[in-house]
């Protein structure tokens, strides 16, 4: 099988904020929210959601709120966003966890997990929606509205496989599974930060996708496409590119169209069991399984050194991915987007039966 050359710069200090900021991108998050909007229609959950949202809002429209509070891409910050950021200085950490992708389950205090990661934050926000608002269950002091906004967004994030399963590389240039947090020392074991520094040859990968995936129809009023960067972080590829591919393969152009496509396709979606406080663990474990597939046949190659603009040196590994990678990755993304919408709707119906 032919391979596409990639580069993995495994120095956490050089990871860009924007690369980890838009899991599933705007369209992907909105698609998850739109699916949930349709699935709770006519239920008590819809009434309870509407009571927490502002006039004109929907789950689709607020699905990107937790990313927009980071600034720079959604316009001016609202007073509500500013208050949330001031009260949650670690809010950027709520969106992911970094469990080694080779593992099968997320465990509290396990390697790559942390107190403010996506599983723990979802647990807290779900507890607030259940009416369990105590210092122990709600350490971030989320309001009920904030909890809904956060759950809506993180239900999308946790189904993005690289927001749960992360790659760690040993000094021998192979993927490894660290046994403790302390082993990830950037000397013997390097953290790829969920693939943020894994750089795909975007030009080659796009050319390959054009052969395998139908071209996207132009959107009305859309601006001309910007020139493509020669590289794309692996994480960013999973945040945005696969969403575009998934929508194209579904013959849809908008989140609303994708949501209707998803429901009409009558998908088989895993049913969560037990108390809803445990559902984030189940979602994380399912995403770990998908993360294994996302890393399938992705291999680490020769090591070299690069220098940042500030003059600091860091290690780089050459990697390869299968030439047809856009096909299985877009199929996985489509399944995960649909699963995210269905799981979000099921959660809200369980909280408000």
- Whether 5 and 323 have beta carbons less than 8 Å apart is answered as no
The per-residue pLDDT for 213 is 85
The per-residue pLDDT for 46 is 98
SS (H, E, C) the chain: CCEEEEEEECCHHHCCCHHHCCCCHHHHHHHHHHHHHHHCCCCHHHHHHHHHCCCCCCHHHHCCHHHHCCCCCCCCCCHHHHHHHHHCCCHHHHHCCCEECCCCCCCCCCCCCCCCCHHHHHHHHHHHHCCCCCCCCCCCCCCHHHHHHHHHHHHHHCCCHHHCEECEEECCCCECCCCCHHHCCCCCEEECCCCCCEEEEHHHHHHHHHHHCCCCCCCCCCCCCCCCCCEEEHHHHHHHHHHHHHHHHCCCCCHHHHHHHHHHCCCCCCCCCCCHHHHHHHHHHHHHHHHHHHCCCCEEEEEEEEECCCCCEEEEEEEEEECCCHHHHHHHHHHHHHHHHHHHHHHHHHHCC
Contacts of 352 (CB under 8 A, 6+ apart): 43, 44, 45, 47, 48, 49
pTM as predicted: 0.89
Among all chains, which residue has been given the structure tokens 């972080």? Answer: 233
The per-residue pLDDT for 72 is 63
The per-residue pLDDT for 219 is 58
Alpha-carbon span 155 to 93, nearest angstrom: 15
The per-residue pLDDT for 205 is 75
Per-residue pLDDT of the chain (353 residues; tens, 9 = 90+): 444 444 444 333 333 333 344 678 899 999 999 999 999 999 999 999 999 999 999 999 999 999 999 986 788 999 999 999 999 999 999 999 999 999 999 999 999 999 999 999 999 999 999 999 999 999 999 999 999 999 999 999 999 999 999 999 898 888 999 999 999 998 999 888 788 777 777 766 777 788 788 876 665 555 544 444 447 788 888 999 999 999 999 999 999 999 999 999 999 999 999 999 999 999 999 999 999 999 999 887 767 676 778 887 766 676 778 989 899 999 999 999 999 999 999 999 999 99
The per-residue pLDDT for 194 is 85
Among all chains, which residue has been given the structure tokens 């013959």? Answer: 251
The per-residue pLDDT for 17 is 35
Whole-angstrom CA distances from 151 to 9, 287, 297 are 32, 17, 33
Angle, helices 144-157 vs 25-39, to 10°: value is 110
The per-residue pLDDT for 16 is 36
Whole-angstrom CA distances from 138 to 126, 190, 196, 314 are 9, 33, 30, 39
Angle, helices 255-264 vs 25-39, to 10°: value is 50
CA angle at 257 for the pair 159 and 160, rounded to the nearest 5°: 10
The per-residue pLDDT for 207 is 75
């Amino acid at each position: 099988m032919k391979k596409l050359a990639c580069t993995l710069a495994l120095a956490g200090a050089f990871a860009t904020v924007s690369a980890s900021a838009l899991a599933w991108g705007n369209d992907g998050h909105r698609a998850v929210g739109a699916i949930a909007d349709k699935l709770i229609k006519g239920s008590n959950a819809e009434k309870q959601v509407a009571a927490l949202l502002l006039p004109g809002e929907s789950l689709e429209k607020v699905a990107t709120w937790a990313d927009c509070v980071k600034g720079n891409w959604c316009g001016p910050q609202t007073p509500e966003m500013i208050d949330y950021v001031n009260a949650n200085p670690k809010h950027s950490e709520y969106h992911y966890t970094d469990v080694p992708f080779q593992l099968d389950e997320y465990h509290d205090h396990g390697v790559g997990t942390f107190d403010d990661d996506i599983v723990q934050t979802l647990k807290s926000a779900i507890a607030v929606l259940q009416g369990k608002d105590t210092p122990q269950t709600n350490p971030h002091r989320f309001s009920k509205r904030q909890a809904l906004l956060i759950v809506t967004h993180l239900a999308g994030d946790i189904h993005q496989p690289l927001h749960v399963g992360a790659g760690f590389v040993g000094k021998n240039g192979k993927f490894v599974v660290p046994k403790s947090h302390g082993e990830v020392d950037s000397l013997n074991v390097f953290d790829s930060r969920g693939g943020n520094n894994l750089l795909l040859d975007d030009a080659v990968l796009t050319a390959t996708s054009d052969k395998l995936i139908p071209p996207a129809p132009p959107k009305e009023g859309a601006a001309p496409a910007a020139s493509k960067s020669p590289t794309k972080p692996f994480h960013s590829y999973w945040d945005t590119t696969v969403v575009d591919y998934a929508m194209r393969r579904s013959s849809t152009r908008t989140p609303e169209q994708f949501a209707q496509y998803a429901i009409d396709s009558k998908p088989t979606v895993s049913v969560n069991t037990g108390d809803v406080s445990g559902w984030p663990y189940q979602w994380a474990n399912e995403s770990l399984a998908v993360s294994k597939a996302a890393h399938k046949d992705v291999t680490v190659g020769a090591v070299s050194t690069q220098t940042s603009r500030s003059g600091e040196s860091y290690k780089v590994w050459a990697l390869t991915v299968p030439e047809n990678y856009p096909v299985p990755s877009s199929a996985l993304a489509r399944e995960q987007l649909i699963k995210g919408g269905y799981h979000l709707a099921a959660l809200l119906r369980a909280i408000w039966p």
